[in-house]
Amino acid sequence: TAALAAIARAEDLIYLETPSLDAQAGPIALVSALTARLAVRPGLVVILMVPQRFLPDQTAKLEAIRKAGISAALAALQAAAPD
């Protein structure tokens, strides 16, 4: 809730560190909040820090799901702000 409120107030920069990111709406729809804020503030800079791997011993299937979610989220954000 605090992250969503901060995104809604962002004027110049959003810096977000997260272990994973999902483009699908859920209880905490970060990607939807980011795309909505980018529509309001076209010059907004968004920096996302996401690890290459979630955990060293993560199963390949779970890692593939996480990577697919991150890829979909990045595609949605790039579509919202191609610059």
Distance between CA atoms of 83 and 80, rounded to whole angstroms? 9
Q: What is the pLDDT along the chain (83 residues), one digit of tens a residue?
A: 888 899 999 999 999 988 777 766 666 688 889 999 999 998 899 999 988 777 778 888 988 888 888 888 889 889 988 87
Contact 20, 69 (CB under 8 A): yes
Q: What is the pTM of this model?
A: 0.80
Structure tokens at 19: 């272990």
